[in-house]
Chains A and B, each alone.
Chain A
Amino acid sequence: MSTRMELASTVVEDAVSPGPSAGLAGSAGSSAIFEIQDLNVYYRDFHAVTDTSLNIYQNEITALIGPSGCGKSTVLRCLNRMNDLIDGARVEGRVTYHGIDLYGSSVDPVEVRRRVGMVFQKPNPFPKSIYENIVFGPRVAGWKGNFDDLVEETLVRAALWDEVKDKLENSAFDLSGGQQQRLCIARAIATSPDVVLMDEPCSALDPIATYRIETLMRELKKQYTIVVVTHNMQQAARVSDRTAFFSVDVGEEGQRTGRLVEYDMTDRVFTAPSMKETEDYITGRFG
């Protein structure tokens, strides 16, 4: 176990030190938004993620990749305390957000989620109008201002305005799947978050809708920090700045525990991975 921890920490150091895209890594070195140290997540008796340490940097897209059950979504959901909603979920280790312990006893998860927004695998707009979908978050946060302007500004930023500007009062369910997902992204950025977490945002979409979301992600990273879980390795390679590769260890009784294998600049992970396991996975020789 200790070797694994050492491995994780050396990998993180690697990521911080100037790599192939030295400028980016160098500028990001001082601005880690999240620092995850020795993270272990359990669902009741089930050990979902073991000894994971990694940093998430500002205005970057960080991709979490790996096979099913490797705990990448679990790690993602630790960043806005979404795991709190699951009965029996237990988080050990340290997750800091701008240096503040996210799991500190006085931290209010609601306040965390107002700053760390989330987009889910399946588009899940509220069964309300497009307009209501955008304004709900700011309204419950007590935001005061012109909601009409906010809706326009947010939808423009989410590259959806031109398609929906004449039907803001229509049901969000009238939109196509790709539009719904962009609406969900708009909903997530309407509260002016700091970070947007995306849990396989394109897995339910066709390639064209996927392309539009990826374009949007690149646009959004200028203002936000994005962490994206994806099954699609091409997607990770296309959009992300850094990639964390997780693998899964199967125990004697079939219990599956996720583990961080490698974390580095994306082009390094995909062109010159330091671990054999990573190479096997990205070249399709996994399992």
Chain B
Amino acid sequence: MATRTIGSGSTAVTQDMLRRALEGRKVNVINPLVALTLLISLLASLAILVVLLWDVVAKSMPVWQERGWSVITNDLSPRPEETGMVQGIFGSVMLTVVVVILSFPLGVAAAIYLEEYARDTRLTRILVANIRNLAGVPSIVYGLLGLTVFVKLILEGMVGQLSGRTLIAGGMTLSMLVLAIMVITTQEALRAVPMALREASYGVGATPWQTIRHHVLPVASPAIFTGSVLTLARAFGESAPLLLAGAVLSTFFAAPEGTPITSLVMSEKYTALPIIIYNWSRQPQTEYIALTAAAIVALLVILLVVNAGTILARDALERRRIR
């Protein structure tokens, strides 16, 4: 007999039947359709990004060709042919420094408390849920918070500054904006550290802080680091809160010729790159179309460089750590 019987009883099948079942290609419409839809979604989002990049780069080309680096290095000026964005870049960098100083230690500390110390009670769960809600609050709301609390109440009311719309107030506002996200990303990083590592440390008689300091944080730090930089990138590109809580230096409020760039930190006259983009885009003169595009390119390049640097630094960190 050529056919062999496989199995026994009522479920017995011949080898031919088995072969047909194994080789039989049933017409499957769903699977390729799903794959195709997913691919189209991916390509669509990529295409939008490419068009956007192409648009700003192309529009900004005349400025780069005519003005060269002076678009970057010049101060703001009411005359479009002379204006530049160095004050904005400086302001954005200084804002980011303030945000790092305020939100990084606060956010990481809060996350360590929630993940490593706080007992899993109803109160903790309510807290965590609300931190997640805070991360979703629109940035303009934080601008209002910055205006009422930092500008009016603290700097003008308590410190007694004539105008509280300083870079410090702007930085504090942005810090509040990213704090919740900072807490969440750090929490995720800490949660990814295996419990077995903590048990090993407690098992040899380490205190909670020794465990966190020597074992949990070193393992979690690359993820905390990456998350923080991506969070800071968000603060770097924010404009709405700054419109409310400061950044009054614009095309019309140019700092007097020769103002040292550092004095922009403490005085009320500072600006940030996103604010420059916002202001230039509202100007009627046609020169500003190319200038706006150039400022967007500058913002994107800075963000891309920082993000790429972060990834490289994280990889270096992970390689140094013994796995």
Q: Is the beta-carbon distance between A188 and B203 smaller than 8 angstroms? A: yes
Binary contact track A152-194/B, C-beta < 8 Å → 1, others 0: 0000000000000000000111000000000010011011000
Q: Bound state CA distance, A138 and B303, in angstroms?
A: 46
The segment from B6-14, B80-88, B207-215, B256-264 found at the interface with A is B207-215
A192 to chain B, nearest CB (A): 11
Which residue of chain B has its CB nearest to the CB of A112? B205
Chain A residues in 8 Å Cβ range of B196:
120, 122, 124
B234 within 8 A of A: no
Q: How many residues on chain B are close to A (CB under 8 Å)? A: 23
Asked if B197 is at the interface of the complex by the 8 Å CB criterion, the answer is yes
Q: A114–B205 Cα gap in the complex (Å)?
A: 4
Top 4 A-B pairs, shortest CB-CB distance: A137-B204, A114-B205, A118-B203, A171-B322
* A113–B204 touching, CB < 8 Å: yes
How does the 8 Å CB contact mask read for A110-131 relative to B, with 1 for contact and 0 for none?
1101110111101011111100
Selected interface stretch from A82-90, A98-106, A230-238: A82-90
Binary interface profile of B, 93-131, with partner A (CB < 8 Å = 1, else 0)? 000000000000000000000000001100000000000
Q: How far does the alpha carbon of A176 sit from the alpha carbon of B218 in the complex, in Å?
A: 24
The minimal Cβ–Cβ distance linking A201 to chain B, given in whole angstroms, is 12
Interface residues of B, dominant DSSP: helix
A137 touches B205 (CB 8 A): yes
Whether the pair B207, A124 counts as a contact (CB closer than 8 A) is: no
Q: A117 with B204: in contact, given A87-B120, A173-B323 (CB under 8 Å)?
A: yes
| Extra 6 A-B pairs, beta carbons < 8 Å, given A119-B203, A120-B199, A136-B214 | A85-B198, A85-B202, A110-B205, A126-B215, A136-B206, A171-B322
A–B pairs, 23, beta carbons within 8 Å:
A80-B203, A85-B198, A85-B199, A110-B202, A110-B205, A111-B205, A113-B205, A115-B205, A124-B194, A126-B200, A126-B201, A127-B197, A127-B219, A128-B322, A129-B322, A136-B201, A137-B204, A140-B204, A173-B322, A184-B200, A188-B204, A191-B204, A191-B205
CA distance A247 to B125 in the complex (A): 36
Beta-carbon nearest neighbor of B322 in chain A: A171
Question: Does chain B have a CB within 8 A of A275?
Answer: no
Q: State whether the Cβ of A141 lies closer than 8 Å to any Cβ in chain B.
A: yes
The distance in angstroms between the C-alpha atoms of A30 and B119, with both chains bound, is 40
Most buried by A among B200, B219, B321, B323: B200
* B-to-A contact residues, CB < 8 Å: 119-120, 194, 196-207, 210, 214-215, 218-219, 321-323
- Expressed in whole angstroms, the minimum distance between the Cβ of B286 and any Cβ of chain A is 59
Flag if B214 contacts A113 (CB, 8 Å).
Answer: no
Residues of A within 8 A of B194 (CB): 124
B200 touches A82 (CB 8 A): no
Tell me, in angstroms, the Cα distance from A125 to B204 when the chains sit together.
Answer: 11
Nearest-Cβ distance from residue A131 to partner chain B, whole angstroms: 11
Q: Please count how many residues in chain A sit with their CB below 8 Å of the partner chain's CB atoms.
A: 33
- Which of B197, B206, B321 sits near A137, CB closer than 8 Å? B206
- Residues on A with beta carbons closer than 8 Å to the beta carbon of B198: 85
Q: How far is the CA of A188 from the CA of B205 in the complex (A)?
A: 9
Q: Please give, as numbers and ranges, the residues of chain B lying within 8 Å of A119 by CB-CB distance.
A: 203
Is A113's CB under 8 angstroms from B202's CB?
A: yes
What residues on A are CB-neighbors of B204 within 8 Å?
Answer: 113-114, 117, 136-137, 140, 187-188, 190-191
In the bound complex, how far is the Cα of B206 from the Cα of A94, in angstroms?
25
Taking a contact as CB atoms under 8 Å apart, the answer to whether B323 and A110 are in contact is no
Q: Which residues of A contact B202 (CB under 8 A)?
A: 82, 85, 110, 113
Which residues of chain A are near B218, meaning CB under 8 Å? 127
A114 to chain B: closest residue by CB: B205
Chain B residues with Cβ under 8 A from A122's Cβ? Answer: 196
- The verdict on A127 contacting B321 (CB below 8 Å), with A87-B119, A140-B210 known, is yes
Within 8 A of B (CB), among A55-90: 80, 82, 85, 87-88
Set of chain A residues within 8 Å of B119, measured between Cβ atoms? 87
* Chain A residue at smallest Cβ distance from B121: A87
Q: Which residues of B contact A191 (CB under 8 A)?
A: 204-205
Q: Which residues of B contact A140 (CB under 8 A)?
A: 204-207, 210, 214
Residues on A with beta carbons closer than 8 Å to the beta carbon of B323: 127, 171, 173
What separation, in Å, do the CA atoms of A126 and B203 have in the docked complex? 12
Distance between Cα atoms of A120 and B202 in the complex (Å): 12
Please, which residue of chain B has its CB at the minimum distance from the CB of A77? B199
Contact B120 A88 (CB under 8 A): yes
Shortest C-beta distance, B146 to chain A (Å), equals 37
B201 CB → nearest A CB, Å: 7
Which of A82, A127, A141 gathers most chain B CB within 10 Å?
A127
CB pair B322–A141 under 8 Å, yes or no, is no
Interface residues of A in 263-283 (CB under 8 A from B): none
Neighbouring B residues of A127 by C-beta, 8 Å: 197, 218-219, 321-323
B171 smallest CB distance to A (angstroms) = 36
Q: Identify which of B200, B205, B206, B322 contacts A120 (C-beta below 8 A).
A: B200
